[in-house]
Every structure is written in structure tokens, then in C-alpha cells.
Structure 1
Amino acid sequence: MAARIDLTLDGADAQLLAVFWKTALGYVDEPPPAPFTTRAEWFEHFDLPEDESVDDGAWLCDPDGVGPRLCVLRVPEPKTAKNRLHIDVRVPGHGSPEVRWARITAESERLVRAGGTILDTFDGHHVVMADPEGNEFCVGAASA
């Protein structure tokens, strides 16, 4: 049996990044683990320093249960280099190369409106972008 993965993304503002990635991926806030009814209740269960807050993290999931969970954590240090691992956002649907490129372009523009930045464009194939804190990701078409 293959292992399941979760992805963890570090940043200065976990809540800002969570809003962006929920928009980008169509994810939702993951419910807290049982028996907790809220993330704050779950967070209080741990013996953590007083200066740490439940808002220092966000836990997201695919509402259909297909994609990996995404944990966004606040860290004190800034991003200093290119990501060694990045997320590829794949737009759904098939069609001609022109139709696929139009969908990629439209999705990239939508993510710019959500706070992303276009870093580079590989016409007809994919767009390299950054989230609001500079974490790189790509937008491309789903496999046929």
C-alpha cells in the first residue's frame, strides 16, 4: 500500500497563506481531530508556550478527500531561497492546446487577483507563480 502524504508550508502569516491556498486549491478548513470540536480546543490540549497561538497554523483539506492535506505554519525566519519542493496547480478539463492554455492563463489571472504573483510564463505549457509570501508554485493543465 502506498503512503499518503501531507504537505506543510511555512510562512510569516499562516492565516493569509491559508486564505490564498484555499482559493487556489478549492480546499476547506480541516475539522479538528475527534473528540475536539474546534481547533482552539485541540490547540489548548498541547502544553505549548504562551506566545504560540492557534492562529499560528492552519489545516486545510480537499473537501472530496482526494488531494493531500495542507498544513500552513507560522515560522519566525523569512524565506531565503527557491523552494526545493513546490505545488503544481493543475486546471481540469481537456481540449486543444489552445483551450488548455486559455484555462491555464485564466487560472493564473484568478490567482493574481487572490494575491499571487506571476514569476515566469512558459507559453502553451505552464506559468510559474508565487503565493503572497513568495513560495513558488506552477499552474498547468491536468494530464489527459
Structure 2
Amino acid sequence: MASVREIQVTVDCADPAGVARFWADMRGYVADEDSASDPHGSGPRLYFQQVPEGKVVKNRVHLDVRVGTGLVGEERLAVLEAEAARLVERGATRVRLLPADDENESCLVMQDIEGNEFCLD
């Protein structure tokens, strides 16, 4: 039986090059015409596949971008808000804040430049 060594995350989109640039900028990856790769080789490759149809429903799977790891309360919110503002300047959309509760810290639901959901966590 073969063992899994790497994963690639594939995202359907209309403009692979544009979406690859957005995600590469967010993650510190290197973009080419249809993908974004971790220059250190530790993160998964993100591949952007051109499809003819537009996005019509909420993603069943999304990426959590871990910008607030280890932070709590107002300190965490400040880091999430700063990254959200930076990404909005680059074409992302802020959807909503999911405030902290008894089990989870706060996170921000966002959309990339084509409406694909991700969370700033």
C-alpha cells in the first residue's frame, strides 16, 4: 500500500493566476500561473483550477489561516483584524466575526477574490 507523503489543495476558480497571486501574497508563498507553493517546502501546494462555472454555494471545506495561534481575547482580535484589513486591501471580503465562546477563540470568516471562504484563525 502506498503511503501519503504530501497533499495539494485544489481550488476551482475563473482566474487561476489572479487567485494564485492572492493566496501567495497571503501565505508568503511563491506564485506561478496556476499555483502557489511554500518556498520552504513545509506547507501544501495550492493549485487553482480554471472551471467554466461560477461559485454558487458555500464551500464544504475551507482553509483556516492560523494568524492568531496562541493569542486570546483582545490581543487575538487585534491580530485578526489587522490581517483582515491587509487582505481586504488586496481584494478579500470580510464576511463576519465569530466571537469567542466557552470552547473556541474568535475567528474571522473571509472570502478570497473569487468568493472562496477561509477563516482567519
- Please tell me whether Structure 1 or Structure 2 has the larger radius of gyration of its CA atoms: 1
Runs of 4+ in structure 1 over 2 Å off: 1-4, 92-97
Query: Larger relative contact order (C-alpha < 8 A, sep ≥ 6)?
Result: 1
Q: Give TM-score, length-normalised by structure 2.
A: 0.84
Over the aligned positions, Cα root-mean-square deviation in angstroms equals 1.8
Query: Separation in 2 of the partners of 1:9 and 1:96?
Result: 31
Query: Separation in 1 of the partners of 2:98 and 2:69?
Result: 19
- Equivalence map 1:91-102=2 (5 Å): 91=67, 94-102=70-78
Aligned residue among 4, 7, 27 for 1:5? 7
- Give the paired residue count: 114
Query: Separation in 1 of the partners of 2:68 and 2:51?
Result: 33
Residues 98 and 6 (structure 1), Cα distance of their counterparts in 2 relative to 1, 3 Å cut: same
* Unaligned 5+ runs, structure 1: 31-54
1:114 and 2:90 correspond: yes
1:85 and 2:61 correspond: yes
* Unaligned 5+ runs, structure 2: 101-105
The alignment partner of 2:17 has SS state of helix
Query: Separation in 1 of the partners of 2:7 and 2:48?
Result: 14
Contact 2:93 2:110 in 1 (8 A): yes
The equivalent residue for 1:50 is none
Residues 122 and 3 (structure 1), Cα distance of their counterparts in 2 relative to 1, 3 Å cut: same
1:23 and 2:25 correspond: yes
The equivalent residue for 1:49 is none
Q: Give TM-score, length-normalised by structure 1.
A: 0.72
The alignment partner of 2:35 has SS state of strand
